[in-house]
Structure 1
Amino acid sequence: MAELKYLSGFGSELSSEDPRRPGALPVGRNTPQRCAYGLYAEQISGSAFTAPRHDNRRTWFYRIRPSVVHKPFKRLDVAKYLTHKWDEQEPDPNQSRWLPFDLPASPVDFVGGLHTVCGAGDARARHGLAIHVYLCNKSMDNSAFYSSDGDFLIVPQQGTLTITTEFGVMEVAPNEIAVIQLGMRFAVAVDGPSRGYILEVFDGHFKLPDLGPIGANGLANPRDFLTPVAKYHDEDNINFTIVSKYQGALFAAQQRHSPFDVVAWHGNYVPYKYNLANFMVINSVSFDHCDPSIFTVLTCPSTKPGVAIADFVIFPPRWSVQEDTFRPPYYHRNCMSEFMGLILGAYEAKEGGFRPGGASLHSMMTPHGPDAQCFNAASKAELKPQKIALGTQAFMFESSLSMAITKWGAETCQKLDAKYYECWQELPKLFSDKIEI
């Protein structure tokens, strides 16, 4: 079992040292002339040096070798459906829904199993996002991966991931998430066929949303986020591959030692995980349907106040008690792009075609909402308190950017449901000369 510790708050200073090497963390200074045990001091920065104190992110590593000890990077083509080419398909404003994405039939690891579904922006300009799925069945062997483009928010749907990082190890199961931030090296081991979703943001880092009138408590609480405990590997004379995602392409460099050789670290720029079952749901207890923003777990803000590059939103099990209210999601046109995935169960607004391991995309100002079956049932239901979404976990990646679907998402994967629009076609005309209450 991986050892973890409470993050306690985004931006909080943390420290950890492998218990096999007590005293590896220097006291009172970051870069002593000679580090304990002959270690090297190395900093990883997630923000500009001169960022305001509350935004500054960095961690100091005390490691057996500095990460610069590797041979030159060369282009790697193991994930041919990983892309930032948003213009390879003609724009399509239609509602899009994907059946569950196929798991591979031959051995494929996490990096080889990366497939980009949609996205927007430019990693070179540090603005935008990409949404990927991973489809794999093999553990990464003597290799590590990092993104030079953005933070990875990983949402497992099938299979538990064991993620080894420079900071330590995390086990991440379905209904949990992990965030591996820009530049952090990691390797993924799987216990069988594994599938999940990834939200990659280029602009900045994820943070907890402001609570405003909610007050000091609610939604995702800081103390429930966990980060790894230092656990170093001291391996020499091995063939190890470092894979870098850089400007949307993959590059590989060779080295003769493990990159997971950090004996101790301290800082506030760390990987972390979160159990979605710990989310404290806020909802109406009188009437009307609250906006889905009340279900935001993490947000990556834009420079425009109140507008996000991406929000990560979940729809967990909860009580529904509103009076005289249409309780399922309302019909809607949005100035945001909404990508939804389903981890398990059946989503209340579309219990048929929207399935675990699949997805949907409702683009800017394209209308969407409950299917005909859901509308008819909810309009006539007895409005008594009931627990909804039992055994279900749906989520949404919502963005202020207008996302384009890749060629793989539109054609190659062959999972795009051409009949999705039909779920609304049977909605009847109910208009009448009489007022019905």
Structure 2
Amino acid sequence: MENKYLSGFGNHFSSEARTGALPLDQNSPQKAPMGLYPEQLSGSAFTAPRHTNLYSWLYRIRPSVMHKAFKPLKELTLKTFFKPLHINPNQMRWNALKEESGNFIEGIRTVCGTGMSHEQRGLQVHLYSFNQGMQNKYLMNADGDFLFVPQSGSLQVKTELGFIEAEPGEIVLVPRGMKFQVNPLKPGNCKGYIAENFGSPFRLPELGAIGANGLAHRRHFLTPVAAFEDLEGPFELIGKFNGELWSAEMGHSPLDVVAWHGNYVPFKYDLRKFNTINTVSFDHPDPSIFTVLTSPSDTPGVANVDFAIFPPRWMVAENTFRPPYFHRNCMSEYMGLIYGTYDAKEEEGFGPGGGSLHNFYSAHGPDVEAFEKASAAELKPFKIDGTMAFMFESRIPYMVTDFAMTKNFLQEDYQEVWQDFKKNFK
């Protein structure tokens, strides 16, 4: 069976869909092989330090400049990418997004966000629900990276560098500025989450005292081999610029890259391969030990956004409280649930496809049932299994959209899960 992917996060890759399409010296020659056009896609400034310099050389059938002028798509913008407008100090929780009919772009709904795309800091959190392919429509997001977290239904993500398939339990990242298309891999509705990262590109966190082999390993990150579409006809390129959608007519598919080399690439990662580090003595380690990817800020140790997960894991500790502790944080936390039950929220309000927001210094922690169960439990090793929750954590407080405040989506009684704690002090 032909391998669909190349492995190794952050490496310099090369791939060709036709033998001989990639120049042997991997530079841009005067005449590229097979009549292709050389084009560089830069994910960083030309002069960025070597370890943060991101670029890929694309050898394509037609240059990217072959499209008509962009025109604003005001109605589609208003339907999908809402502007976060309101700061809310309350703990907030939402139901899963209802199933929507339409394609991926039509099925996006923005819940909250922080920072600004034109200042290249912060992120926005979107949900998606769709059941149709994009057909002759393609998307290019100039604002930020798209980190997809599928919750139900498998995705086919077609990019300029190749095609990716992903199911719930896997994530997909499409870099800023890359053209792509998202379709259902199988008939049915696809639902999930997106972190749109406006800040520095995601990278693996430093491991420090953990050593070489903990958390996510670079060899498990997969980028696609070259694949292309040589199609002519009426096509539409939808561009996202500073939160607004624009449309440009094209006479061909923009996914016509026959060969490429570089390190600015889309990728997928299986969250089930995460090597969880946990305590074997006492106390509850900080959730930073569950970080899969980080977008650093200009302050060392403080993230623009961290993507962390809470996967199946053994809990082994003596004389200690097992679930996440009560907490107030200078960071802001959006949480989602891919499948299963989150161990600190055992009542039904936090279900797969739903989400919660605990903004900066908003108190949060286990509900009454989870606290009492953990307090009375026998302290012996046990395994949390059949679950996968995640968190988008940022140093900047999240603003919420009008859509996030709509009835039957926002759970207005979320605070009730903490109201029945008893006074035990004597």
Tell me, yes or no, whether TM beats 0.5: yes
CA contact (8 A) 2:6 2:225 kept: no
* 2:228 maps to amino acid: Y
Matched, 1:270 2:265: yes
Alignment check: 8 A CA contact 2:9 2:222 kept: no
Matches within 5 A, 1:9-408: 9-10=9-10, 12-18=11-17, 21-76=18-73, 77-83=75-81, 85-87=83-85, 89=86, 91-104=87-100, 107-190=101-184, 191=186, 192-236=188-232, 238-352=233-347, 353-388=349-384, 390-408=385-403
- SS of residue in 1 equivalent to 2:403: helix
Q: CA shift at 1:34, angstroms?
A: 1.1
Q: Which amino acid aligns with 2:420?
A: E
Task: State the match for 2:411 in structure 1.
Answer: 417
Superposed structure 1 runs of 4+ greater than 4 Å apart: none
- TM-score, reference length from structure 1: 0.95
Percent identity over the alignment? Answer: 53
Q: What's the CA shift for 1:346?
A: 0.9
Matched residue SS, 1:289: coil
The corresponding residue for 1:435 is none
Which region of structure 1 is more displaced relative to structure 2, 259-268 or 77-86? 77-86
Structure 1 SS opposite 2:118:
helix
| Residue correspondences, number | 422
* SS of match in other structure, 1:112: helix
- CA RMSD, Structure 1 to Structure 2 (Å): 1.3
Q: CA deviation at 1:81?
A: 4.0
Cα-to-partner distance string for 1:291-348 (whole Å, 9 max, x where unaligned): 0000000000001000001000000000011111100000000000000000001111
* Distance change >3 Å, CA 324–CA 51, structure 1 → 2: same
- Which whole-Å CA distance do the structure 2 matches of 1:203 and 1:363 have between them? 19
Residue 113 and residue 305 in structure 1: after superposition, are their counterparts in 2 closer, same or farther (change >3 A)? same
Identify unmatched segments of 5+ residues in structure 2: none
1:100 shift after superposition: 1.2
Deviations 1:334-365 (A, max 9, x none): 00000000000111111221000100000110
1:120 Cα deviation after fit:
1.2
Distance in 2 separating the partners of 1:86 and 1:216: 39
Q: What is the deviation of 1:281?
A: 0.3
Kindly state the Cα deviation for residue 384 of structure 1 after the two structures are TM-superposed: 1.1
Equivalent position SS for 2:374: helix
CA distance in 2, matches of 1:151, 1:363: 23
**Other-structure match for 1:5:** 5
